[in-house]
């Protein structure tokens, strides 16, 4: 296990003494900060927006900065209150009622945020969809959720499945012209602005559904994960203690609401803290990302290993041209954070990326590297206060430190999903092992209580009587200077040994060759163990990814073993 340590970056952070805070923490301490604790009137929009908008000292504070093609739009808390009331009035005018669903199928734009807040204000579930979904994927989600309406644009509207769409009351087109394909299309351009900017917020129960989000589908068909208004306690806690928000924090997460990170940390978490969130509407380019950090004076940045890898690919010269002096904290999520990424970012941005772990189902960060805690590179950190984590065997029994098992969490934190939409069985299956929420992720905890991700349960590789996670091998490959990305799968057992194959993309300046192939095999053997030998290496142009940029080993296995799972991601392989 990792022996290296990086000394805590900020001992003066909001959370200073992890152990003491963890031991004494109670969710009721956080809940006391919400107005509903006194008034009994619950709605996340009231706590995230109206509370500040109704305070003359805070209402003009910037809540949202939206940038696209160099144009910057800025919205205060008061603006967001008014805009979201207008959207709530618009939806109410179309007959939307609490419990109904609105799909938001758009590339990022400010209206998306107004509509989301409008829905929450009136108890309508919002469901943001990736604008890159395929026809079948949209159909699957529409059939499952039966929304009352879809908010989209003319281009995306053309890709909607006609038969399913007929059963939906309204297809709202955000700006003209109307595509003229469906009878239920409505052009709403200019309409919200004509609505009243007051709306009588619907008071809800803490467990009233807030949003429905389909998981990215890296293992099996997507699930409609439902989250409730009560999640706000988890959003606030983690924003303050994991991401180290202060009231004046300018925060950026480079993920859209269609990925849970964009919903929770791109909107609710910063607004519950009264902070400013930045949305960059343009697609990724390294220079634009650096410019966004510099131009908007981002203080806290929540990103992904996927983004960091693309920045590294753009080289050290580019990064050196920007000023990051306002940046004080970087956190990442989504997939294992290879130590090489940590060291590169430390060298070039003068800050340490702090890994965090969570999943759509948990609704908030559950394991984290806290700014006041030493980092062990390769570790996801420790459980967030209020969350109990454990490593269990296949029967749900806790395992001792340094033993790989499934990461499980004890239900009881407020942001945990409330259901899987229309699928009780699938919801129950999460808790089948002695009531723990089984995460589907394999991990190890060390003697100091740090957790290490080892891959997903179905990624595991049998080596003799031992089970190993692919990540262990990938981590070694990442240390090789030629390797840009690596994914390892098992092709079963041959002659009593696991037949392991690695898929590799090479860094700029390296060319795949038979020699490099041999060199990488030898490198893994020398750095890991002769028992865990890579039998095959394929150099490919790109590793298949989920829409949020996570490595999709399932797609590689499917293709390699000819498994009959329809997979939407094409893999272009260049065998050498």
Please tell me whether residue 380 binds ligand ATP under the rule CB under 6 A.
Answer: yes
Residues ≥6 apart with Cβ < 8 Å to 10: 244, 328, 329, 371, 372
Q: From the list 79, 254, 340, 355, which residue makes contact with ligand ATP (rule: CB under 6 A)?
A: 355
Tokens 């004890």 sit at which residue?
410
Q: In what order do the strands lie in the sheet with 389-392?
A: 389-392, 405-409, 437-445, 451-456
Closest to ligand ATP by CB, 445 or 453: 453
Under a CB-based contact definition with an 8 Å cutoff, are residues 443 and 415 in contact? no
Closest to ligand ATP by CB, 218 or 517: 218
Q: For residues 41 and 72, what is the distance between their CA atoms, to the nearest angstrom?
A: 35
DSSP 236-264: HHHHHHTS---TT-EEEE---TTSHHHHI
Return the one option of Mg ion, ligand ATP, none that residue 51 interacts with (CB less than 5 to 8 A, by type). none
Q: Tell me how far, at minimum, the Cβ of 89 lies from ligand ATP, in Å.
A: 33
Return the one option of ligand ATP, Mg ion, none that residue 108 interacts with (CB less than 5 to 8 A, by type). none
Q: Tell me how far, at minimum, the Cβ of 404 lies from Mg ion, in Å.
A: 18
Q: From the list 453, 480, 547, 553, which residue makes contact with ligand ATP (rule: CB under 6 A)?
A: 453
Q: For residues 78 and 75, what is the distance between their CA atoms, to the nearest angstrom?
A: 8
Q: How does strand 353-357 pair with strand 367-368?
A: antiparallel
DSSP single-letter state for residue 49: I
Q: From the list 82, 137, 335, 340, which residue makes contact with ligand ATP (rule: CB under 6 A)?
A: 335
Give the SS3 label for residue 347: helix
Ranges within 359-398 binding Mg ion (CB under 5 A): 359
Q: Tell me how far, at minimum, the Cβ of 10 lies from ligand ATP, in Å.
A: 20
Q: From the list 10, 255, 490, 546, which residue makes contact with ligand ATP (rule: CB under 6 A)?
A: 546
Q: For residues 362 and 159, what is the distance between their CA atoms, to the nearest angstrom?
A: 32
Residues ≥6 apart with Cβ < 8 Å to 479: 340, 527
Q: Which of 1, 3, 4, 9 is nearest to 346 (CA)?
A: 9
Select the span of 4-12, 332-340, 485-493, 513-521 touching ligand ATP (CB under 6 A). 332-340
Select the span of 286-294, 337-345, 347-355, 357-365 touching Mg ion (CB under 5 A). 357-365
The tokens for 165 are 């769409």
Please tell me whether residue 257 binds ligand ATP under the rule CB under 6 A.
Answer: no
Q: For residues 457 and 462, what is the distance between their CA atoms, to the nearest angstrom?
A: 12
Closest to ligand ATP by CB, 32 or 479: 479
Number of residues that bind Mg ion (CB under 5 A): 1
Ranges within 444-503 binding Mg ion (CB under 5 A): none
Q: From the list 298, 333, 502, 524, which residue makes contact with ligand ATP (rule: CB under 6 A)?
A: 333
Inter-CA distances, 87 with 84, 240, 434, Å? 5, 29, 44
Please tell me whether residue 244 binds ligand ATP under the rule CB under 6 A.
Answer: no
Please tell me whether residue 436 binds ligand ATP under the rule CB under 6 A.
Answer: no
Closest to ligand ATP by CB, 2 or 533: 2
Please tell me whether residue 550 binds ligand ATP under the rule CB under 6 A.
Answer: yes
Q: For residues 135 and 488, what is the distance between their CA atoms, to the nearest angstrom?
A: 30
The tokens for 260 are 């849970």
Return the one option of ligand ATP, Mg ion, none that residue 420 interacts with (CB less than 5 to 8 A, by type). none
Q: Tell me how far, at minimum, the Cβ of 8 lies from ligand ATP, in Å.
A: 19
The residue ranges that bind ligand ATP (CB under 6 A) are: 215-219, 222, 260, 333-336, 355-357, 359-360, 380, 439-441, 453, 456, 546, 548, 550
């Amino acid at each position: 296990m990792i022996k290296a340590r990086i000394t805590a970056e900020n001992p003066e952070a909001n959370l200073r003494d992890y152990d003491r805070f963890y031991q004494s923490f109670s969710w009721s301490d956080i809940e006391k900060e919400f107005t509903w604790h006194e008034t009994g009137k619950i709605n996340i929009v009231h706590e995230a927006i109206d509370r500040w908008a109704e305070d003359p000292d805070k209402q003009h504070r910037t809540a949202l900065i939206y940038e696209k093609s160099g144009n910057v739009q800025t919205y205060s808390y008061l603006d967001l209150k008014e805009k979201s009331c207008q959207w709530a009035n618009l939806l109410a005018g179309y007959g939307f009622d609490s419990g109904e669903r609105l799909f938001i199928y758009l590339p990022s734009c400010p209206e998306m945020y107004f509509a989301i807040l409008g829905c929450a204000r009136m108890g309508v579930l919002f469901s943001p969809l990736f604008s890159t979904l395929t026809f079948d994927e949209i159909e699957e989600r529409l059939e499952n959720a039966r929304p009352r309406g879809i908010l989209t644009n003319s281009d995306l509207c053309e890709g909607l499945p006609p038969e399913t769409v007929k059963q939906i009351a309204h297809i709202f087109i955000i700006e003209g012209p109307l595509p003229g394909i469906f009878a239920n299309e409505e052009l709403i351009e200019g309409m919200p602005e004509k609505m009243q900017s007051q709306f009588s917020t619907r008071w809800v129960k803490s467990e009233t559904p807030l949003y429905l989000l389909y998981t990215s589908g890296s293992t099996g068909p997507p699930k409609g994960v439902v989250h409730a208004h009560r999640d706000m306690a988890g959003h606030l806690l983690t924003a303050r203690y994991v991401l180290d928000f202060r009231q004046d924090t300018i925060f950026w997460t480079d993920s859209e609401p269609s990925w849970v990170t964009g919903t929770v940390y791109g909107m609710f978490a910063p607004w519950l803290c009264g902070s400013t969130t930045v949305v960059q509407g343009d697609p990724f380019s390294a220079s634009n990302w650096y410019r966004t950090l510099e131009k908007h004076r981002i203080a806290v940045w929540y990103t992904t290993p996927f983004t960091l890898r693309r920045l590294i690919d753009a080289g050290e010269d580019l990064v050196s041209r920007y000023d990051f002096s306002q940046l004080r904290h970087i956190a990442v999520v989504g997939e294992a954070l290879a130590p090489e990424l940590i060291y590169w970012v430390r060298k070039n941005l003068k800050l340490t990326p702090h890994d965090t772990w969570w999943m759509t189902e948990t609704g908030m960060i559950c394991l984290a590297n806290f700014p006041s805690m030493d980092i062990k590179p390769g570790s996801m950190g420790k459980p967030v206060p209020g969350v109990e984590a454990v490593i269990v065997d296949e029967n749900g029994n806790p395992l001792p430190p340094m033993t790989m098992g499934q990461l499980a969490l004890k239900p009881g934190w407020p942001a945990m999903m409330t259901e899987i939409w229309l699928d009780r069985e699938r919801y129950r299956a999460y808790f089948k092992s002695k009531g723990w929420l089984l995460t589907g992720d394999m991990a190890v905890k060390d003697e100091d209580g740090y957790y290490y991700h080892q891959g997903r349960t179905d990624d595991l590789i049998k080596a003799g009587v031992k089970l190993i996670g692919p990540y262990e091998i990938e981590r070694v490959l990442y240390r090789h200077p030629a390797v840009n990305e690596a994914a390892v799968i098992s092709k079963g057992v041959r002659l009593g040994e696991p037949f392991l194959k690695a898929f590799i993309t090479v860094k700029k300046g390296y060319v795949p060759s038979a020699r490099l192939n041999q060199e990488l095999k030898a490198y893994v053997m020398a750095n890991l163990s002769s028992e865990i030998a890579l039998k095959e290496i394929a150099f490919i142009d790109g590793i298949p990814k989920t829409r949020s940029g996570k490595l999709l080993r399932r797609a590689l296995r499917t293709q390699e073993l000819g498994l009959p799972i329809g997979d939407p991601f094409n893999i272009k392989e260049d065998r050498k």
